[in-house]
Structure 1
Amino acid sequence: MLNIENLTLHYGHSQILHDVSMTAEAGKVTCVMGTNGVGKTSLMRAIAGSHPRSDGRLVLDGEDLGKLPAHALAKKGIAVVPQGREIFPLLTVRENLETGFACLPKAEHVVPEEIFDLFPILREFLGRRGGDLSGGQQQQLAIARALITKPKLLLLDEPTEGIQPNIIQQIGRVIELLRDRGDMAIVLVEQYFDFAFDLADRIVVLKRGEVIFSGDKSSITREQLLPKVSV
């Protein structure tokens, strides 16, 4: 579904990513791992188009994406759940969900029942403002909003950050269900090692903006991986 070739990214004169190449397949979770500051979030921003890459090639479902802006990439099928969630605090849950309609033709401007099957609490809180939700509820809303766009590629940046354990478990189950549908590639950036390792089908490890490991989870043990992603 996604193929990245030799992606580089700069912030001003500082190079953050160095010739990053990776793939993400439909029906699989690709986990991007590494310590803080190695470029994981920058990689997600480059894929989503929220920060322009300096060089490299992105191919989604066989289409070379060139250097399209973020809103065009969203319409192509890339959805992102950003670190910090970034829901609209003054909009209701329903209105937050409906912001995803911008990527869809008017005939598809409907919140599907599947959203409430995945996140039942959102049905109860449709009229509540996003800013009044707990952190875990906001994370569920952020994921649901991304799913409204019917993505081919779902980018999840630190979805467990600041979330209570029961919601972490629920989010894990949702990711498994989305993976098992087989029509979506999922790229997960996650510091919580056990959560990431348990969900991963493929693992990419970054260090100082470079890929130091890339392969199927079956090709590496927990004991081999842990030192690569720890301080």
Structure 2
Amino acid sequence: MISLRHARVRYGPLEALHDVTLCAPAPGLTVLLGRNGSGRTTVLRALAGTVPLTRGAVVWDGADVTGMPAYQRARRGLCLVPQRRAVFGSLTVRENLELAGADHTRFPQLAPLLARRAGTLSGGEQRMVALCRALSGHARVVLVDEPTQGMSPPVAARTYALLASLGACVVLAEQRLPPALRGRGALVYELRRGAVVFGGEADEWARRSGSGAAPSGG
């Protein structure tokens, strides 16, 4: 598993995370819920090591990795798929996949696009390319910020099914709890203004929030 313990993160004078503690099991699916500015993206970046903690710790499989650089975490099997700039736009789809040792078989829609430059694809198509490396089977921890942004509903449903079936620690950042993830035993943390306001199973969160309505807070 991977966890944050009493984590604080600052961007200049602003504190983005306030004493955040959460744990994502492995294998398992964890969903970070919250509106823009809630801190969910910062949680992913803190786990990946792309932003430093000002206080607290990142613990992975019982070891404190707070001081471990992001590239070393990646070598150990941590894969971060950010919301933006998740592909090399000047390279073709095929080249993007080859760099990650991945293929397009999980997203057959990419087959006719392999020769195109990734930067010319739609937002949903770029998400498929970026997710291929996370779904390649080599990652132990998969962190994805809004995985289905720009995708059609059928492709989004397939994406959630693929992520839920991974034998890895999977952490997703979402504004709302996707219906496709209900009933899959997902763990949910709701963040509001950089703090955790709920932690528990997805079904419990849906009951408390009124059948999965959008989370409140800023």
TM over 0.5, yes or no?
yes
Please identify runs of 4+ aligned residues in structure 1 that moved more than 6 A. Answer: none
Long gaps (5+) in structure 2: none
Q: CA RMSD in A?
A: 2.2
Larger helix share, 1 or 2: 1
Change (3 A) 1:35 1:186: same
Q: TM-score, normalised by structure 1?
A: 0.83
Structure 2 counterpart of 1:210, from 173, 195, 205? 195
Structure 2 counterpart of 1:187, from 165, 168, 171? 171
Displacement after TM superposition at 1:7 (Å): 0.8
Between the aligned residues of both structures, percent identity stands at 37
CA contact (8 A) 2:92 2:117 kept: yes
CA contact (8 A) 1:79 1:149 kept: no
Change (3 A) 1:227 1:159: closer
Report the equivalent of 1:222. Answer: 206
State the distance in 2 between where 1:227 and 1:164 align: 21
1:165 lines up with 2:153 in the alignment: yes
Report the equivalent of 1:140. Answer: 128
1:48 lines up with 2:48 in the alignment: yes
Q: Between Structure 1 and Structure 2, how many residues are aligned?
A: 214
1:22 lines up with 2:22 in the alignment: yes
Question: What is the identity, as a one-letter code, of the residue corresponding to 2:200?
Answer: G
State the distance in 2 between where 1:88 and 1:177 align: 27
State the distance in 2 between where 1:200 and 1:86 align: 28
Question: What is the identity, as a one-letter code, of the residue corresponding to 1:158?
Answer: E
Displacement after TM superposition at 1:200 (Å): 5.7
Q: Report 1:17-96 matches (<5 A).
A: 17-96=17-96
Change (3 A) 1:192 1:227: closer
Displacement after TM superposition at 1:82 (Å): 0.6
CA displacement 1:149-207 (0-9 Å, x = unmatched): 821110010112232223212212211222xxx3x000011114334752561011111
* Helix, strand or coil at the partner of 2:104: helix
Structure 2 counterpart of 1:175, from 163, 175, 198? 163
Question: What is the identity, as a one-letter code, of the residue corresponding to 1:46?
Answer: A
Structure 2 counterpart of 1:118, from 101, 106, 109? 106
State the distance in 2 between where 1:194 and 1:121 align: 22
CA contact (8 A) 1:30 1:200 kept: no
Displacement after TM superposition at 1:48 (Å): 1.1
State the distance in 2 between where 1:187 and 1:64 align: 19
Q: TM-score, normalised by structure 2?
A: 0.87
Change (3 A) 1:19 1:228: farther
State the distance in 2 between where 1:140 and 1:55 align: 35
Question: What is the identity, as a one-letter code, of the residue corresponding to 1:54?
Answer: T
Change (3 A) 1:149 1:49: farther
